[in-house]
Amino acid sequence: MTSIHDYLAEFDDIPGTRVYTAKRARQGYHMNQFAMSLMKAENRERWKRDERGYLDEWPMTEEQKQAILDRDYNRCLDLGGNIYFLAKVFSADGLSFLQAVGTMTGMSPEDYQAMMIAGGRSPEGLRSLKDQAAGQPDRPDLSGPPAKDL
């Protein structure tokens, strides 16, 4: 029988994916609450006037604050952010969901949109970071942008 810890560790083996677990929810609670605060116009104005000052009002780690200031959404996810909460941050910046998520893949919004319309990334290929570390040559790394012919 697999322990809950072993089961949850399996989620960290999925290339290019961050599964939002209870651990991540606890880790990112204040980051996500900050993001939700941007739903109020007065908070968005305070944020736009002094991003660092507004962030310093929240009990987040320095690493979380810096990831937000850098608009490094992948790092925010690593640190417990939830994409649906973080959407408030990029909306405050005037970005669409498509534009912001496209930046997380290293693709242009147009290429990202075309990939998603075509069905997203292929489920074939690299299915495990452990496989990648073991050097499985017959399984391509799909954690990066897809081929242009999708």
Flag whether 1 is in a domain. Answer: no
Query: Could you tell me the pTM of the whole model?
Result: 0.76
Question: Cα–Cα distances in Å, from 67 out to 13, 16, 71, 74, 137?
Answer: 23, 18, 6, 9, 34
pLDDT at 142: 47
Question: Cα–Cα distances in Å, from 75 out to 8, 30, 70?
Answer: 20, 15, 9
Flag whether 53 is in a domain. Answer: yes
Flag whether 6 is in a domain. Answer: no
> Which residue range(s) make up the domain with 59?
20-93
pLDDT at 109: 87
pLDDT at 128: 72
pLDDT in tens, the chain (150 residues): 678 877 777 777 776 777 788 888 899 999 999 999 999 999 999 999 999 999 999 999 999 999 999 999 999 999 999 999 999 999 999 999 889 988 888 888 899 899 889 988 776 766 777 777 777 654 444 455 554 444
Flag whether 73 is in a domain. Answer: yes
Flag whether 24 is in a domain. Answer: yes
pLDDT at 144: 53
pLDDT at 42: 98
Flag whether 14 is in a domain. Answer: no
**Number of domains making up the chain:** 1
pLDDT at 103: 85
- CATH number of the domain enclosing 69: 1.10.700.10
pLDDT at 57: 98
Flag whether 142 is in a domain. Answer: no
Flag whether 87 is in a domain. Answer: yes
Vertex 27 angle, CA 25 and 31, to 5°: 85
